[in-house]
Structure 1
Amino acid sequence: MVQDEKKKNAGIWAKLLGLFLFLIISLNAAIWITGCTYVYKALVYTYPDTDDIDIFDVRSISAKNPRPWPLSHSYNKYALPASTLAKLEELDSEAFLVIREDSLIYEQYWDQLKENTVSNSFSVAKSIVGLLVGIAQEEKLFSIEDPVSRYLPSFSEGRNAELRIQDLLTMSSGLNWDESYSSLFSKTTEAYYGSNLRKLVKELKVIEIPGTRFSYMSCNTLILGMIIEKASGQNLSAYAAEKLWTPLGAEYPAFWSLDKTEGVEKSYCCYYSTARDFARIGKLIQDSGVWYGKRIVSSEFIKASLSPHGIPDESGNKTDYYGYHWWMLDHKGHKIAYARGILGQYIVAVPERKLIFVRLGNKRGEKVLPNHYDDMINYLDGVLDTF
C-alpha cells in the first residue's frame, strides 16, 4: 500500500512538472513568436533605476566649453528645514542643490555620490526635448504646425495624417499608446527595454482627433526626437550637444540611452547628467531662453512652453498645468515651472525669485494636488522659506 501511494504521488509530481515545463516552453514560444523578447530584460531588471546607464547602450552629449557655476559667498551656510531634509532622506535622494541669483548656494549628496556623478533624469528628458524642438523651429528646420508625416512617412495615411508636431508637444496626439509602467507588455515597457524604437513608432495609430484631449504619453516625445533627427540630419545627442549642452557651458558630458548599439535615443527618458548641469536647464527657463546674454531658445517659444495650453484632459478639465513639455504651478503667489521624472527627479525654476533647484533620487512622493506631488511641494516650500 505504501509503495502504491509513493508511485501515485510520484506520478502526480511528474505530471505537474510536465505541465510546468509545457507552460514555460509555451510562454517562451509566445514571446519569440510575438517578438516580445524585451520581456526577458524587463524580468531581470524588474523596474527602471537611476543607474540603468550600465545596462543600455548610450550616446555621449559632449560638453566642450565648461563654465562652472560660481559659488555664492553663502555657499552651504544655510540649513534646509527639518521637514524638507526628512523628506529628501525618506525618499532616498541622491542630490539636491539650489541656485540663487546665478550662483550655487546649496548642495548636498547622498550615498557617496558627488558633483560629477551622473544620474537618470527619466521624464525630465521630455522637457529637454521640448526645448530642442523650440531651437529647431527657430532654425527653420520645421514649424510646429507641420504635419508629422512630412518627416515620418509612416504617419501619411488615414488619421495619422492629421497629426501635427504641436499635438505631440501638447501631449494631445490621440495615439494608441499604453503609458503603463507596471505591465510587462505595455508599449512603455517595450520602449524602455526593447531594441527597435523605429518599429514601435511605425506601428502607432491615431485613434482620437489630435489636439482635442491631453493624455500624457512617452511616445509623443519619442516621435519628436525622431523628427529632430530627420530634420537636422544629426542624431538627437549630437544635436543636443551642439545646440544646447555646449552653449550652456555644461561641465560634464551627458549621456542618452539608446535602444541598441548605434541606435535611437530614448528621447522620452534616460538623459543622464549631474545635478549641477541639470540646473543649467532651469536657468535657461528662468531667463526666458537666454544664457548669459546669448539667445538659445526664442522667448516666444519659452512663453508658450510655460503657458497652459488649455486642452481638456482625461477628466474633462482644461489643462492648466502643462504647456510644451513643461509642467507649471501657481504656488504661494509664485509662478513655478518645472520638469519632472518618475522617481522624483526635478528641475524647478522660480523666475521672479531667481531661484532654481534640482533634486535627483530614487523615489517620489504621493500625488496630493490633481497633477502635482507632495515631495516637490515640500522641496519648493523649503527652498522658498530658506533662500
Structure 2
Amino acid sequence: MNKEQLHRYISESTGNESNICQIYAIKENGVALDDCWHGFKTLDAMNVNSVTKGVMALLAGIALDKGFIESVDQKVMDFFPDYSVKRGEKTIYDVTIRHLLTMTAPYKGKSEPWKKVCTSQSFTYAILDYLGGRNGITGEFRYATLGIQILAGIIEKATGEKCIDFANNNLFEPLGLPKRIPHGDSSKEDQFDFFMNKNPRKYEWYADPQGTVTAGWELCMSAKDMAVIGSLVLNGGTCNGKRIISEEYLKDMLTPHIKLGERFGFMNYGYLWYKPYNNKDVYAAIGDSGNIIYVNKEENVSVGMTGTFKPRIFDRVDFIEKKVLSVIECTV
C-alpha cells in the first residue's frame, strides 16, 4: 500500500478507520508521512483523550529528573499536607507515585466518581477523597482516569507552578511544539462538547476551576505533536541534541511492570505507557477513539494518529503495523 492508497482506504472506510483525522510519522528523524482527513490540517489539534496520560508520565519523569520529586516511591500524601484524611482511612498513607503511574493505586467504590469530581472546585482534591480503602495496597491493576488527576496535583505542589506551565516550559516548547493554553469552562455542557465535538480545537488543555489541567484526559494535540513526543521517547530523551528527559527514567517508564488482562489485549504496562508485545520494542500511549502515540524502536519510527469521537475504538497498533508502516517504507 502506498500513500495514495492509504488515503483512499481511510477516506472510503465505513468501519473503525472512518474517524481518522491525521497521521504523522517520523522515521530516522525525518517526516515519513503527513496526511489528513475530514477537513483537518497538519497543525490542527484535537482532544486526544487518554494519550494525555502518556504525557503525564513524561512530566512526572522530568519533575523527578529536576529533583522536585524524590523518587517514584515517594508517598502521595507527602505532597498534600493540607488535605484532611477521612476518619478511619489508613491505606491512603501508603499510596506512592509508582502506584499512580502503574494504575495499581487503590480506590473506594466500584466505579469512578465522574459527577462528583467534574463538578467540584478542585478535581485533584475531590478524587483524593476516593483514594485508599479498606483492602489496602493489593497491587491489582485498576484503570482509573480520574486517579491520574492526583499526579497533576503532585507536580503543582512539587514545582510550585501550574502543571500546564511546567509542561509548556519543560516539554512542549523545548520540543518546538506550540504552547498549550488552559480551557477553563468546566460546565457539564462544555465538558460534554469538549469530548464529543468533531471539529479542530485550539492548542488547549482542559482545566478545573483552579486552573489545574485534567491529567488523565482532554489534552489537545495534533498527530504531529504526538509523533514528535514519540520521537523523544525513541531517541532516549533527547531532541536536536538537547536532553529533555533522562534515559534512565524512560527505560523505567517503558519497562513492563504489569501484565494486563483480556480487556486490554493482554498487553504489558509500564508507567501509563503500553508495551503491546513481549518480544518487540514497540510502545504506545493509547486513548479512546483511536488516538495514539506509537513508538517502534526496531523500525526507528514514531507515529501520531488522531481520531474524532467514535466508541469502542481503543487500540490502533494493529492498524499502524498492517497499513501505515508499509506506506512509511515506500516514502523513506
Aligning the two structures, in what range does the TM-score lie when normalised by the shorter sequence?
A: 0.7 to 0.9
Name 1:307's counterpart in structure 2. 255
Counterparts of 2:109 and 2:245, CA distance in 1: 30
Q: Which amino acid aligns with 1:349?
A: V
For the Cα contact (< 8 Å) 2:261–2:267, is it kept in 1?
no
Q: Which amino acid aligns with 1:271?
A: L
Once the two structures are overlaid, the 10-residue window that deviates more, 85-94 or 203-212, is 85-94
Say which of 250, 271, 275 aligns to 1:328. 275
Equivalent position SS for 1:378: helix
Counterparts of 1:350 and 1:306, CA distance in 2: 12
Say which of 110, 113, 138 aligns to 1:187. 113
CA separation of 1:203/1:148 partners in 2, compared to 1, >3 Å: closer, same or farther?
A: same
Equivalent position SS for 2:295: strand
Say which of 313, 326, 332 aligns to 1:385. 326
For the Cα contact (< 8 Å) 1:94–1:360, is it kept in 2?
yes
Equivalent position SS for 2:290: coil
1:327 is displaced (CA, Å) by 0.8
CA separation of 1:139/1:120 partners in 2, compared to 1, >3 Å: closer, same or farther?
A: same
CA separation of 1:362/1:178 partners in 2, compared to 1, >3 Å: closer, same or farther?
A: farther
Name 1:229's counterpart in structure 2. 156
Counterparts of 1:216 and 1:236, CA distance in 2: 22
1:278-322 Cα shifts (integer Å, max 9, x gaps): 211100111121112222111111111111103x7578x9x8511
1:148 is displaced (CA, Å) by 0.8
Counterparts of 1:243 and 1:177, CA distance in 2: 36
Question: Which of structures 1 and 2 has the bigger CA Rg?
Answer: 1
Query: Under a length normalisation based on structure 1, what TM-score does the superposition of the two structures give?
Result: 0.69
1:147-180 Cα shifts (integer Å, max 9, x gaps): 111102338651111111111111000112655x
Name 1:80's counterpart in structure 2. 6
1:358 is displaced (CA, Å) by 1.3
| RMSD over equivalenced CA pairs, Å | 3.0
Name 1:293's counterpart in structure 2. 241
Say which of 268, 275, 282 aligns to 2:230. 282
1:216 is displaced (CA, Å) by 1.0
Is 1:167–2:99 an aligned residue pair? Answer: yes
1:383 is displaced (CA, Å) by 2.2
Say which of 97, 103, 124 aligns to 2:51. 124
For the Cα contact (< 8 Å) 1:81–1:386, is it kept in 2?
no
Counterparts of 1:227 and 1:175, CA distance in 2: 17
Equivalent position SS for 1:352: coil
1:192 is displaced (CA, Å) by 4.6
Say which of 207, 232, 239 aligns to 1:258. 207
Say which of 266, 270, 290 aligns to 1:344. 290
- Which residues in structure 2 correspond to 1:42-191 (within 5 Å)? 79-80=5-6, 86=13, 90-142=17-69, 143-153=71-81, 154=83, 158-176=90-108, 179=111, 186-191=112-117
1:376 is displaced (CA, Å) by 3.2
1:129 is displaced (CA, Å) by 0.5
Q: Which amino acid aligns with 2:277?
A: D
For the Cα contact (< 8 Å) 2:226–2:305, is it kept in 1?
no
Query: Under a length normalisation based on structure 2, what TM-score does the superposition of the two structures give?
Result: 0.80
Counterparts of 1:358 and 1:122, CA distance in 2: 13
1:11-40 Cα shifts (integer Å, max 9, x gaps): xxxxxxxxxxxxxxxxxxxxxxxxxxxxxx
For the Cα contact (< 8 Å) 1:236–1:265, is it kept in 2?
yes
Equivalent position SS for 1:334: coil
1:335 is displaced (CA, Å) by 2.0
Which ranges of structure 1 fall in alignment gaps of 5 or more residues?
A: 1-75, 180-185
Equivalent position SS for 2:269: coil
Number of residue-to-residue matches in the alignment: 298
CA separation of 1:386/1:131 partners in 2, compared to 1, >3 Å: closer, same or farther?
A: same
CA separation of 1:177/1:249 partners in 2, compared to 1, >3 Å: closer, same or farther?
A: farther
Name 2:221's counterpart in structure 1. 273
Counterparts of 1:109 and 1:328, CA distance in 2: 27
For the Cα contact (< 8 Å) 1:279–1:356, is it kept in 2?
yes
Q: Which amino acid aligns with 2:113?
A: K
CA separation of 1:252/1:238 partners in 2, compared to 1, >3 Å: closer, same or farther?
A: closer
Q: Which amino acid aligns with 2:99?
A: D
Q: Which amino acid aligns with 2:103?
A: M
